[in-house]
Amino acid sequence: MTKKIEFVDLKTQYAELKQAVNARIQQVLDHGQYIMGPEVRELEGRLERYTGAKHCITVASGTEALLISLMALGVKSGDEVITTPFTFVATAEVIVLLGATPVFVDIEPDTGNVDADLIETAITPKTRAIMPVSLYGQPADMVKINAIADKYGLPVIEDAAQSFGAKYQGRMSCNLSTVGCTSFFPSKPLGCYGDGGAIFTSDDVIAQACREIRVHGQSKRYVHSRIGVGGRMDTLQCAVVLAKLDRFDWEVQQRAAIGKQYNQFMDQAGISRVVQRPDRTSVFAQYTVLVDERERIQEVLKQANIPTAVHYPLPLNQQPAYQHF
């Protein structure tokens, strides 16, 4: 009899953190400030210190973080935003929602991240921003990307939905560019018990714009100075993340140790995998291998009750399918 392996074992994690999580939730139930309660600012302050970014603005989801960031930068209809085709749909979705056009640049076949060497050729007079994705828990080549952006006077938004806790050349993901965005979706390395996300920046003007946009463009009570959205992160979800933060560094260490073991196994077995660059770390949001016989591998894993997910890079250079589990 086979035992089903959960894709993300939130039940076991909760069992370990039950006392802290319950206490945090009870505090919110006691004070009753479910919208913009004290835990919201407490979490933002802790995340600012964790990443080194000057500002953290918690929002309703990782998708909302991307959307609000683009709005704060003034991206509008007719603009172009350079990004990667190999990502969750939200990355391109938010660009299209604003009437802009996503311009896709191909990936590095061994990391799955955008190939920084291809970005400059995609820049046009309509380009308004560059949005790399830190896929599978490892940041993209942000030094190269930032250098290109600086050359053309463009902001960079790091889509760090999968990489919170990772480092690039000693700096934390989410504090590597003009703006960093992450997600606290339950399956992410640092997750809440619903939807949530955060925006990071050290630019005071962008930060203020993001804060206003997340509350319907409100600069002060009932004064709406810009178009915004209902994008606040619930106090209860902030409380859950606060409870998890205390042992997050330990969890990142465990992910790295297990990822290293998998790397050794895959290399010995001759199985192609996503590689981790020596100048950065990964929080292994998923462990990912490259296979040619995707359907057969899927069936084997299905028979063993091992959950899997499959990604397909868009056929810009016909890379093999990526299988992660």
- Give the separation between CA 97 and CA 30, rounded to whole angstroms: 39
Q: Kindly state the tokens that stand for 72.
A: 């704060």
Q: Kindly state the tokens that stand for 278.
A: 């020596």
CB atoms within 10 A of CB 289: 16
CATH code for the domain in which residue 34 is found: 3.40.640.10
Evaluate whether residue 281 is within a structural domain.
yes
Evaluate whether residue 2 is within a structural domain.
no
- Give the separation between CA 10 and CA 81, rounded to whole angstroms: 35
Of the residues 218, 245, 272, which one is the last residue of a structural domain?
245
Evaluate whether residue 238 is within a structural domain.
yes
> Distances in Å between the alpha carbon of 319 and those of 94, 117, 157, 269, 323?
25, 17, 25, 21, 12
Of the residues 192, 221, 245, which one is the last residue of a structural domain?
245
Q: Is the pLDDT of residue 217 over 70?
A: yes
306 and 233 in a common domain: no
Confidence band of 298 (pLDDT split at 50, 70, 90): confident
Q: Kindly state the tokens that stand for 242.
A: 């606060």
Evaluate whether residue 3 is within a structural domain.
no
191 and 253 in a common domain: no
Better pLDDT: 5 or 19: 19
269 and 123 in a common domain: no
Number of domains within the chain: 2
The answer to whether 133 and 83 are in contact (CB under 8 A) is yes
Range of the domain at 316: 248-324
User: Which pLDDT score is estimated for 8?
Assistant: 83
User: Which pLDDT score is estimated for 3?
Assistant: 56
215 and 192 in a common domain: yes
Contacts of 114 by beta carbon, 8 Å cutoff, 6+ apart: 83, 84, 86, 105, 106, 107, 108, 132, 133, 140, 145
Of the residues 245, 265, 294, which one is the last residue of a structural domain?
245
Evaluate whether residue 275 is within a structural domain.
yes
